[in-house]
Amino acid sequence: MSTLNQQVWTNQLMKHFYPEASFLSYARDFSQYSKFDMINIADAGFDPEVLVNNTTYPIKIAERKDENLSFELDLFETENTLVRYPTEVEISYDKLESVLYSHRMVLQTTTAKKAAHAFAPNSDSEYTPVIGTSGDDDGEGQKRILLTDILKLKRRFDMLDVPADKRYLVLDPRHTEDLIISDLKAFKDITDFVNGKPKRFAGFNVLEYTKNPVFNANTMVKKAFGEAKASTDTFCSFAFCSDEVMKADGTVKMYSRENDPELRGTVVGFDKRFIALPIRDKAIGAIVSTKI
């Protein structure tokens, strides 16, 4: 009796897992550092000072104290699917794709949603700017985003000396809508790609994502991932420097119960290890919709 080639199924599941337009395509890939679904990184200490026209020697020695950080990759599991004639599916690209499509989509959606939450700052600080929107009422109780709000975020990134070509702004579609309403000609194609690269605007490479993290509108503090909805919830667009955020893929497993006599088919399911984090909680920011 033949058995499924799980390598074929898992390889196909991970094929094109990060679409070109996904903000995760622009995070540093730390997958090579993942061992046993754990990742160890160093939280770098201070940067050294630069002396100009120094006349005092010996030059002071300052010890940099790095903090070793260890993280277990999050576990994402799909619900199981009943597959008829799995060995026939395995040798047909189209059939295999049709079975795996929903599993890949839910894993893409959930891992990206978790990453977006991680890449947005918890609250406003010197290194993690959070800007409130300042426009007119959008008709749903929030102030619209304005160009000046994006420029305020740009200025905060400028002050941090974030490399201009490595800045990414991930717009909530409602913010994209605000900009288009304000100036259709200027913003109608703001999230388009040109020659395979996102368009640049106001100092950022501009992307769009539908499941950006939620903030508390009163405190301007990011809510915990998966926290229950509340009347104070509001949405955001978030920004990051591609050198300051990371993602890491770990183990991908397929589970199967083959030739089940009751179900007259084979049951398959998948799990995937993944994590995405800011590397040192610096050069990440957000524009949060302010309540009227």
DSSP conformation letters of 150-198:
HHHHHHHHHHTT--GGGEEEEE-HHHHHHHHHH-HHHHTTTT-EETTEE
Whether pLDDT at 284 is above 80: yes
Please tell me which residue, 5 or 239, carries the higher pLDDT value: 239
Whether pLDDT at 66 is above 90: no
Q: What is the pLDDT of residue 131?
A: 98
Please tell me which residue, 243 or 196, carries the higher pLDDT value: 243
Tell me the pLDDT tens digit for each residue of 186-220: 899 999 998 889 999 999 999 999 999 999 999 99
Task: Give mean pLDDT, residues 123-141.
Answer: 96
- Token pair 């094929």 in the structure block, residue: 15
Contacts of 19 by beta carbon, 8 Å cutoff, 6+ apart: 25, 108
pTM for this predicted structure: 0.87
Q: What is the pLDDT of residue 42?
A: 66
Angle between helices 6-14 and 93-119 (to 10 degrees): 50
Q: What is the pLDDT of residue 249?
A: 95
pLDDT confidence band for 291 (50 / 70 / 90): very high
Mean pLDDT, the chain, rounded, equals: 91
Lowest mean pLDDT among 18-27, 71-80, 181-190, 255-264: 255-264
pLDDT confidence band for 67 (50 / 70 / 90): low
Task: Give mean pLDDT, residues 76-90.
Answer: 87
Closest among 164, 153, 175 to 242, alpha carbons compared = 164
Whether pLDDT at 46 is above 70: no
Please tell me which residue, 67 or 37, carries the higher pLDDT value: 37
